[in-house]
Structure 1
Amino acid sequence: MFSSRKPDPFFLSLHKIAENMREAIHYARDFRIETVADLKEISVKMKKYETDGDHLIHELIVMLNKSFMTPIEREDILALANKMDDVLDGAEHCIAHFEMFSFIEVDESMRKFFDYISSSADEIVAATDLLNKKDLIAMRKHIILIKDYERECDEISRSSTKQLFLNEKDPIRLIKMRDIYDQLEEIADSCQDVANTLETIIMRNA
């Protein structure tokens, strides 16, 4: 199935896509929003990460179109790339809503979301590194962790939404916060989609 002579360019390309996604997620988590001007700064930077991700996807598609042989099914390569890109797109979209709402009050639930999503991004990179090394079985532990983090985000979503409707009296603020919670949960779901795609790759090639 795999050649062990040298790293495969397709796997290296997937790893670059994963690394760009992780860097963007960590940037969003670590950035401290204190003013409306901060929102503009982080929004511009996240858009740059998204654009870089689109370029990496395009380069991968060009490689796929030019290559007769691929190390795994080309559909699986493209699916994994697109699922990782969904994580990045979701993060950029969420930050764009922070700016659109001029929302600078990041609460503890949002921080927890970003912590778990960042951990998921780390596991995605680790899994793609193992894919590059052709160590499919070792990828399973990272897939399990990603799914664990998604479940944690589900719990945060339920509890934070419950508290929001119990305690928030301003309907406009409630709408803004609910929107952001929902988007953060969707990013976690996208991370799980990556894990599911990795599982499919293992199933077909191990």
Structure 2
Amino acid sequence: MFSRNKKDQFGALLHDMTTNVKEAADYFSSFSVEKPEDVTIFAQTVNEYESKGDGFVYQMIVQLNDTFITPIEREDLLELTNRIDDVLDGMEKAALSFEICHMTHLNDYISQMTAEICQATENIAEAVDCIFNKQLQKVNDYSKNIKQNESKCDDLYREALLELFRVEEDPIRLIRYQTVYEDLEAIINFCEDVAKTLNSIVMKNA
């Protein structure tokens, strides 16, 4: 299934991609606001991570076009690349919402959801490395962890919305928080899509 040179070539690139996603999620989850302009800096920084991710996607497409034999099916490599990129795109969209909605207060729901997202990206990074180290059973284990992250985030999302519509009387604040919650929920769903793609690759190559 794997030839060493091709494994190193594509595995190294995907490792760099997932490392970038993980670093973006670490930054995202540790973000705190001390002054209003911090939100703008936050959005700009996440955009830089996303732009770096786009560069990796371009490199993957070039490598796929230049390589006759790939370690796993080229369609799977491209699908995995795109699903990982979706996670970064989701972070960029959420960061923009933080800026547009002037989110100067991050409540416990936001903190807990971003923590689950951060853990999911760590699981993604570990799982992708396992693909190219032929540790396919571990890939399934990490995929289960991602699903647990997604499930916890779903619970937080429901609780956050219930609380928001129960106590918030300011319609503008309600819209702001609802938008941010929805964007965070979208990110964790993108993480689950990565897990599904990983599971599909394992089934094909087991």
TM-score by length of 1: 0.97
What amino acid sits opposite 1:196 in the alignment? K
Q: Which residue does 1:148 correspond to in 2?
A: 148
CA–CA distance in structure 1, aligned partners of residues 42 and 5 of structure 2: 42
Whether 2:59 is the aligned partner of 1:63: answer no
Q: Which residue does 1:106 correspond to in 2?
A: 106
Q: Which residue does 1:18 correspond to in 2?
A: 18
Alpha-carbon RMSD: 1.2
Kept in 1, the 8 Å contact 2:6–2:71? The answer is no
Q: Which residue does 2:180 correspond to in 1?
A: 180
**Cα drift, residue 48 of structure 1:** 0.6
Percent identical residues: 38
**Cα drift, residue 7 of structure 1:** 4.3
The SS at the match of 2:72 is: coil
The SS at the match of 1:160 is: helix
Give structure 1 stretches of 5+ with no counterpart. none
CA–CA distance in structure 1, aligned partners of residues 13 and 86 of structure 2: 16
Q: Which residue does 1:78 correspond to in 2?
A: 78
Q: Which residue does 2:42 correspond to in 1?
A: 42
The number of aligned residues is 206
CA–CA distance in structure 2, aligned partners of residues 189 and 5 of structure 1: 33
**Cα drift, residue 5 of structure 1:** 7.2
Aligned pairs for 1:90-105 (under 5 A) are 90-105=90-105
Kept in 1, the 8 Å contact 2:6–2:70? The answer is no
Residues 5, 98 of structure 1: CA spacing in aligned structure 2 closer, same or farther, 3 A cutoff? closer
**Cα drift, residue 162 of structure 1:** 0.5
Kept in 2, the 8 Å contact 1:15–1:132? The answer is no
CA–CA distance in structure 2, aligned partners of residues 165 and 34 of structure 1: 27
Kept in 2, the 8 Å contact 1:21–1:49? The answer is yes
Q: Which residue does 2:131 correspond to in 1?
A: 131
Runs of 4 or more off by more than 2 Å in structure 1? 3-8
Q: Which residue does 1:166 correspond to in 2?
A: 166
CA–CA distance in structure 1, aligned partners of residues 66 and 99 of structure 2: 40
Kept in 2, the 8 Å contact 1:8–1:71? The answer is no
